Amino acid sequence: MKNKALSLLLIAAGTLLTSACKDFLDYEPQGTLSSDNVKSAANADALVTAAYASIGNGEMIGPIASMWVYGSIRSDDAYKGGGGVADLEDINFYEQHNLTQPQQGGGLYHPYTWENYYKAISRANVALRSITALTDASFPERKTRLAELRFLRGHAHFMLKMLFKNIPYIDETLSNEQILTISNRAMTNDQLWDKIATDFQAAVDNLPEKQTQVGRANKLSAAAYLAKLRLYQAYEQDDNNKVVNINKTKLQEVVKLTDLVINSGQYNLQPDFAENFLPEFDNGVESVFAVQYSINDGTTVGRLNFETGLNYPHGAPQYGCCGFHQPSQNLANAFGTDANGLPKLDTFNDAVIDFKTATVDPRVDHTIGIDGHPYKYNPAILFSNSWVRDPGVYGFFQSMKEQQAATSSTYKKQGPFIGTSKNIDIIRYADVLLWQAEAYIELGQPALALPLINKIRARAAASTGRTKKADGTNPSNYLIKPYAATNWTQAYARKALQFERRLEFATESPRFFDLVRWGIAEPTLNAYIAKEKTRRSFLSGAKFTAGRDEYLPIPQREINFTKGLYKQNPGF
Rounded to 10°, the helix 446-461/490-505 angle is: 30
Nearest to 506 by CA among 70, 78, 64, 63: 78
Residue 36: what pLDDT?
Answer: 56
Q: What is the DSSP letter of 187?
A: S
Residue 62: what pLDDT?
Answer: 94
Position with higher pLDDT, 205 vs 104: 205
pLDDT at 27 over 60: no
pLDDT at 21 over 70: no
Dmax (CA) of the chain: 68
pLDDT tier for residue 97 given thresholds of 50, 70 and 90: very high
Lowest mean pLDDT across 289-303, 316-330, 333-347, 518-532: 289-303
pLDDT at 34 over 60: no
Mean pLDDT for 442-451 is 98
Mean pLDDT (the chain) is 93
* Chain centroid, CA 431 distance in Å: 11
**231 vs 136: CA distance, rounded Å:** 35
CB burial class (10 A; 0-12, 13-18, 19+) of residue 386?
exposed
pLDDT at 431 over 70: yes
SS3 state of residue 221: helix
pLDDT at 461 over 70: yes
SS3 state of residue 306: coil
163 and 552 Cβ atoms separated by less than 8 Å: yes
Provide CB contacts within 8 A for 307, sequence distance 6+. 58, 59, 60, 63, 64, 65, 66, 68, 424
Residue 569: what pLDDT?
Answer: 98
Residue range 118-136, pLDDT digits in tens: 999 999 999 999 999 999 9
162 and 170 Cβ atoms separated by less than 8 Å: no
**482 vs 128: CA distance, rounded Å:** 47
Residue range 547-566, pLDDT digits in tens: 999 999 999 999 999 999 99
117: enclosing H helix or E strand: helix 110-132
pLDDT at 157 over 70: yes
Mean pLDDT for 6-15 is 39
pLDDT tier for residue 15 given thresholds of 50, 70 and 90: very low
pLDDT at 25 over 50: no
Residue 18: what pLDDT?
Answer: 33
Cβ-based neighbour number of residue 61 at 10 Å: 18
Residue 244: what pLDDT?
Answer: 98
Provide CB contacts within 8 A for 121, sequence distance 6+. 24, 153, 156, 157, 170
Residue range 258-288, pLDDT digits in tens: 999 999 999 999 999 999 999 999 999 999 9
- Where does 153-312 show beta strands of DSSP type E? 235-237, 243-246, 287-291
- CA triplet 405, 409, 410: central angle to 5 degrees? 75
Residue range 483-504, pLDDT digits in tens: 999 999 999 999 999 999 999 9
Nearest to 95 by CA among 546, 572, 542, 552: 542
Q: Across-strand partners of 235?
A: 246
- What's the start-to-end Cα distance of the chain, in Å? 47
Beta strands at 368-369 and 398-399: parallel, antiparallel or unpaired: antiparallel
pLDDT tier for residue 153 given thresholds of 50, 70 and 90: very high
Residue 91: what pLDDT?
Answer: 97
Residue 118: what pLDDT?
Answer: 98
Beta strands at 477-478 and 359-360: parallel, antiparallel or unpaired: parallel
pLDDT at 29 over 60: no
Handedness of CA 347, 351, 352, 355 (dihedral sign): negative
Show the 3-state SS of 370-415: CCCCEECCEEEEECCHHHCCCHHHHCCCEECCCCCCCCCCCEEEEC
